[in-house]
Copies of this chain bind each other. A is one copy, B any other.
Amino acid sequence: MAEESQVNQMESLNIGETSGNPEAVEDVVDPWNVQTSSATGIDYAKLIVRFGSTAIDETLVQRIEQVTGKPAHPFLKRGIFFSHREMNKILNLYEQKKPFYLYTGRGPSSGAMHVGHLVPFMFTKWLQDTFDVPLVIQLTDDEKYLWKDLKVEEVLKLAVENVKDIIALGFDVEKTFIFCDFDFIGQCPEFYRTMVKIQKHVTFNQVKGIFGFDESSSIGKIAFPAVQATPSFSGAFPFIFNGKKNIQCLIPCAIDQDPYFRMTRDVAPRLNMVKPALLHSVFFPALQGATSKMSASDPNSSIFLTDTPNQIKNKINKYAFSGGQATVEEHKEKGGNCDVDVSFQYLRFFLDDDERLEQIRKDYTSGELLTGFLKKELIGVLQKLIGEIQERRKTVTDEVAREFMRPRKLKFDY
């Protein structure tokens, strides 16, 4: 999975996406570039049309609650997971007590994960808890090696640190298999076979169109989309699925990863395999706002899992882009803009209490609350969230990580 799921203004490599109509520059969204010129971020409604996915609407959210008998996750109710492919099929299977499994992943990046990286994992954990299904998590250390100026040994180290961060989010070892490509592909012949099956049925023309590769791209990059596609098929994990090749997969991920899975869904019928279903999330804004780039190399661009309570407080106070007015008087008169205020946007992700969030929205919009209040609220929420993760992270020993990464049967029978 690509490292950065954020909105930025990098110059796009993906000329095709922007050259259609110079009057209305489209947002660019692919696994390596996400950019918009709008302060409110990407136009997700347009993206759904362009990608050919389906909006997650009230009806679907209600059906999820009805089928599971549990309240929907705030990410669903608040449009953070906003788009899907075949989620109704997943709910049908669940109703019929037929199996499916979850697959998500991440490209291990330098050092610590930031809070934006938590979004797909927190949601995936909720899905796992709610539906009680197996989960596979892929760390694409091979992708990082292919795209970045890093040595194999360096990405291997990053991957293990990232595995520990992910485990610290609270995944259940009896239901979760985490793997790094550089280790696991050399431990499982069926994974490599599935990879090559996919590679046989995808041409250079296809990946060129989907991912913007050209003739100077390395053959590693060109072949890589098959590596990320492979965990979508249960046959790649015979130890979990008892050799069954047609267990349905559901992939929660940020929308920029969709190109991989459009390709996967396209190739699946030609391999007599089941198309994975998908749930897509929006991007997470940088502290400096939706048009700014969030980067692991700029510690002030986001809040990281390694930040101390003081760092969290100082960064938010200093850098969180404000939707407020220039003066207190003007703010009280005109009110704040929740759509661009980063503190409010972060609270949408991490403040669980629906009523409190709604109250804050109203009071900030009316001008009753100042940005300072939102910042204080967010500081408290993130200090608590990150503090808890840091506590759990201390218990994630090498031994614990090894157990999550050991190819093994999970608690499910097939």
Q: What is A's interface to B at a CB cutoff of 8 Å? A: 142, 145-146, 152, 181-193, 196-197, 199-205, 207-208, 213-220, 222-223, 225-226
Contact = CB atoms under 8 A, between A and B. Distances in A.
Nearest to A201: B218
A215 B223 contact: no
A279 to B, nearest CB: 27
B219 A207 contact: yes
Contacts of A220: 196, 199-200, 202, 223, 226
B217 A204 contact: yes
A203 B186 contact: no
A186 B196 contact: no
B203 A216 contact: yes
Nearest to A200: B220
Contacts of A217: 203-204
A267 to B, nearest CB: 11
8 contacts: A152-B193, A203-B216, A203-B217, A203-B219, A204-B216, A204-B217, A205-B215, A219-B222
A217 B203 CA distance: 5
Contact of A196 (B146, B183, B193, B201): B146
A111 to B, nearest CB: 22
A192 B203 contact: no
Contacts of A226: 219-220
A204 B204 CA distance: 9
Contacts of A186: 185-193
A186 B220 CA distance: 18
* 5 residue pairs, one from A and one from B, having the closest CB atoms: A186-B189, A199-B220, A223-B223, A200-B220, A205-B215
B182 A189 contact: yes
Nearest to A225: B219
B207 A142 contact: no
Contacts of A202: 218-220
